[in-house]
Chain A
Amino acid sequence: MTGKTQTNLQTDQEYWNLRARKSKRARWRQQSILIGFLILASIPVLLPYFWLFTISFSARTGGVESFVLWRACAILLPAVFIGGAVQMFIPSRRHRLDAYFAIIVVALIALVWSIGPYLHLENYRFLWNPNIVEELKGMSGAGGDQFPWVWSAFWNSLIFACVQSIVVLYVSTLAGYYISRFSFPGRSTFLQSLLVLHAFPAMTLVIPIFLIMFWVGLIDTITGVVLVVVTLELPFSIFLMKGFFDSVSWDIEMSAIVDGASRRQAFVKVVLPQVKGGMLAIGILAFIKGWEEYVFVRTLLFEKSNWMMSLYLFWVSEDIMGVDYGIVAAVGVFYVLPSLLLYLFFQKYIVQLNIGGVKG
C-alpha cells in the first residue's frame, strides 16, 4: 500500500518536473527568437543613422574614408550580438549588468584604438563658420548671394516648430474639449470629417495653397507657413484630444462644479491635469512635425533669410555635393539631434497616445 503511493508520488514528481522543464525551454526559445528578431530588424533602421554619424566625424574633404565605418561596424556588431547572448544566457541580473559593462568598456577601448585617430570635428565647422559654401567653392562659385548661416536656419526652424506646436496644442485642446463635452447639431458629421480630412495627402494641396497664400499676401512669410501647417495638422490633433477628454469622467467635472468651481475653473483645475500627458504628446509630435516640415517650407518660402533647417540641408547638399560628404552628414546630424532628444525625453508620453484612445 505504502509502496504504491510512494511510486505514484515519484511519478507525479517526475511528471511535474517534466512539465516545468518543458515550459522553461519554451520560454527560453521564445525569448531568444524575440531578441534575435529585434536585433535583425533594428539593424536596417539604425545603420543609416550610424553611417551618417560616423561619416560626419570622420570624412575629410575630397572623399569618404569608409574604412572607419567598416572598422566601427566590425567592433559594434559583435558587441551587440554578445550583448544579446548575455541577455539570454545569464540569468542573474547583477551578473548581466556586469557583463554589459565589460562589453561596453571593451568595445570603447577597441573603438578608440582602431578609429580614434581618424575622428575629427572639421565637418562641424559650419556651426561657427557663417558662410561654409563660400569657403568651399570660393566667392564666385556661390553665385554672389550670401548663403545664410546655419544658426539663422536653426532659429527659424525652432521658432516655426514652437509657434506651430503651441497653436496646434491650444486650438486642439479647446476644440477637443468642446466636441467631447457638448452636443451640437452636426457633431457626428464634424467628427467624421476630421478623420476624412486627415486622410488626404497634403501634397495634393500644394498648388491651391500656393495660390491662396499668394492672393492673401502671405507668400514667403513664416506666418503663412505656420498657418498652413497648423491647418493641416489640426484635424487629427483635435480628434486625438477629444479621445483624451472622453476618458475623463463627467462626474469629476460635475463634482468640481458643485464644489464651487466655475466651468472654466473646473476645466483648468480638474480636467486639464487629467489630459496633461496627452497634451504633451500632441505638442511634441506637432513640434517634431514642424521641425521636419519640408514640402510647404520649400514651396512657400524663397527668401534666404527665411530658410529653415530642412531647406538648409537641401541646399548644402545641392551646392556642395560631390565636394564634401562630411559636411552634409554633419548638417544631417545637427538637424536630427533636437527631435531625437525630444523623443528620448518624452517617449513615455508619446507612447500614451495609444491609451488616450480613439473613440467615436
Chain B
Amino acid sequence: MARIELRNVSKVWDNVVALEPTNLSVADGEFVAVLGPSGCGKSTTLFILAGIYAPSKGEVLFDDQVVNDVEPRDRNIGIVFQSYALYPHMNIRDNIRFPLKFKKTEKEEAMRLVEESAKLVHIEEFLDRKPSQLSGGQQQRVALARALVKEPQLLLLDEPLSNLDATLRMSMRSEIKTLQQRLKITTILVTHDQLEAITMADRIICMSRGKIEQIGSPKDLYENPSSLFVASFIGAPPINLLEGVASQEKLNLNKGSIILNHAHQGKLTLGIRPENIKITKDIQGIKSRVGLVEPMGRETLYVLETTIGELRALVPESAPQWGQGEDIFCQFEKESCLFFDTETEKLVSNLRLVAIE
C-alpha cells in the first residue's frame, strides 16, 4: 500500500551516531526484516519512518513524496513498540479502539473492527481486562491488534514476538506472515532473532553499529554474505572463521595451509559453514580429531581439532556418526568457502579454494 524510501537518512544524538547515512527502499507490499544486534539502530530507523524522530539529515519518502514534515498521525502507520506501549488506564477493548477514535469511525463499526482484529491475534477473551492483567505475550498481541485495527499503509513491528514462548512464537510468525500477505501491508519487522527474519521476511536488512551491512533475500545473506559481520551474525550454529596470512597462492592457517585459485597478499579470514564440512575416514583432506559431540536432534554437531584450527561440523543423522577422540579427515565443499579480508572485514569475492595441502 505504500512504497518507502530513505535517502541519505542519518540520525545523530548529541555525539552518538545512532544511524549513519542510509539509503533504503522498500517496495509496495513487501515484508522486510531489519536484523542486527542490540543497539545497532534498528529502533531508531523505525522511529524515523514513523516520524517520531526527525532525521538529522536526509529525506524519508512515502510513495515518492517527501514526508519529513508530515506529522506521525498523518502517516497512517501501525506500530508495535518493543515495550508494547499499551495504555495502562484503558481496558484492552479501548486500547485497540484508540486509533479508530481519531479516524472518526462509527461506534458500531469500530466495535466490529476491534472484535475482528482481536480475533486475528486470539485475544478476544481478554477484551475487558486491563493491560496489567495480561501476560507479556498477550500484551504483545494486543499491541499487534491495535496496530492492525486502523488498516495502516505501513506496519512497523519492533521485536513483536520477543516475549512469546517457542510454540506461540512459531504460530504467530506464520500468522503475521499470512496476515501480511493477505492484507498486502508494507511491513518492516525489527528483530535480533535471525530465525524470525529468515522465516518471515522477503528481504533482510542486516545492520551493525548504525550502518546497513547488507540487504538481500535470506538465501542471499546466508550464502553470499558481503562481510564478516553478516557471515557471523546469520546462521546457527555460526559459521567457522579461521584467520590466516596469504602469500602468493597459499593461505597459511595455524599449522596447516590451503591453496587459493589466485595469488593474494595479506591477512585473510576463511569462512565455512558447519554443514559444508564433510567428515570421512578416507585419507583425504584435513587431518582432525573429534572433540566434543553435541547431538542436536536431526543433526549432530562435532567440534573438530584440526591442523588449521578448531572447526564445527554439522552432520545429518543419516550420515555415518563418529565418536569422541576418533581420528578422521574433514573436507570442505569448495564453492561454499568464503574469504574475507581480515582488515576491512569485506568479502574478497574472487578467491576460491582449490585444494587443501
Question: Residues of A with Cβ closer than 8 Å to B?
Answer: 249, 251-252, 254-262, 265, 270, 273-274
Contact = CB atoms under 8 A, between A and B. Distances in A.
A110 to B, nearest CB: 49
A254 B75 CA distance: 13
A274 B88 contact: yes
Contact of A259 (B82, B83, B99): B99
Q: Which 9 A-B pairs have the closest CB atoms?
A: A260-B102, A251-B85, A255-B85, A259-B99, A273-B89, A260-B73, A251-B81, A258-B72, A252-B85
B42 interface: no
A259 B52 contact: no
Contacts of B89: 273-274
A254 B52 contact: yes
Nearest to A276: B89
B79 to A, nearest CB: 5
B126 interface: no
B42 to A, nearest CB: 15
Contacts of B50: 254, 258
Interface string B132-166: 00000000000000100010000000000000000
A257 B73 contact: yes
Interface string B71-105: 11101011101111111110000000011011100
Of residues A251, A256, A258, A260, which shows the largest number of chain B Cβ atoms within 10 Å of its Cβ? A258
Nearest to A255: B85
Contacts of A251: 81-85
A257 B85 CA distance: 12
Contacts of A259: 73, 98-99, 102, 146, 150
Contacts of A262: 71, 73
B87 A258 contact: no
Contacts of A258: 50-52, 72-73, 75, 77-79
Given A249-B83, A251-B81, A254-B85, 18 more contacts: A251-B82, A251-B83, A252-B85, A252-B87, A254-B52, A254-B81, A255-B81, A257-B52, A257-B72, A257-B73, A259-B146, A260-B99, A260-B150, A261-B73, A261-B102, A262-B73, A273-B89, A274-B89
A260 B100 CA distance: 8
Interface of B: 47, 50-52, 71-73, 75, 77-79, 81-89, 98-99, 101-103, 146, 150
Contact of A255 (B75, B79, B102): B79
B74 to A, nearest CB: 8
Contacts of A270: 87
With most chain A CB atoms within 10 A of its CB, the pick from B72, B85, B86 is B85
Contacts of B72: 254, 257-258
Contacts of B87: 252, 255-256, 270, 273
A257 to B, nearest CB: 5
B158 to A, nearest CB: 9
Contacts of A249: 83, 85
B54 to A, nearest CB: 13
A270 B98 CA distance: 10
A277 B47 CA distance: 31
Nearest to B98: A259
B44 to A, nearest CB: 13
A274 B131 CA distance: 13
B120 to A, nearest CB: 18
Nearest to A272: B89
A141 to B, nearest CB: 60
A188 to B, nearest CB: 14
A273 B146 CA distance: 19
A75 B290 CA distance: 89
B131 to A, nearest CB: 10
23 contacts: A249-B85, A251-B82, A251-B83, A254-B52, A254-B72, A254-B85, A255-B85, A255-B87, A256-B87, A256-B98, A258-B50, A258-B72, A258-B75, A258-B77, A259-B98, A259-B146, A259-B150, A260-B73, A260-B150, A261-B73, A261-B102, A262-B71, A262-B73
A120 to B, nearest CB: 50
Q: Which of A254, A255, A261 has the most CB of B within 10 A?
A: A255
Nearest to A252: B85
Contacts of A273: 87, 89
B106 to A, nearest CB: 16
A326 to B, nearest CB: 50
Contacts of A260: 73, 99, 101-103, 150
A273 B50 CA distance: 25
Nearest to A262: B73
A274 B130 CA distance: 14
A256 B99 CA distance: 8
B220 to A, nearest CB: 32
A77 B73 CA distance: 65
A251 to B, nearest CB: 4
B90 to A, nearest CB: 8
B88 to A, nearest CB: 7
A265 B85 CA distance: 16
Contacts of A252: 85-88
Contacts of A265: 102
A276 to B, nearest CB: 8
B130 to A, nearest CB: 12
A265 B86 CA distance: 16
A259 B82 CA distance: 16
A265 B99 CA distance: 12
A251 B83 CA distance: 7
Nearest to B152: A258
A256 B101 CA distance: 11
A247 B71 CA distance: 25
A262 B101 CA distance: 12
Nearest to B99: A259
B157 to A, nearest CB: 13
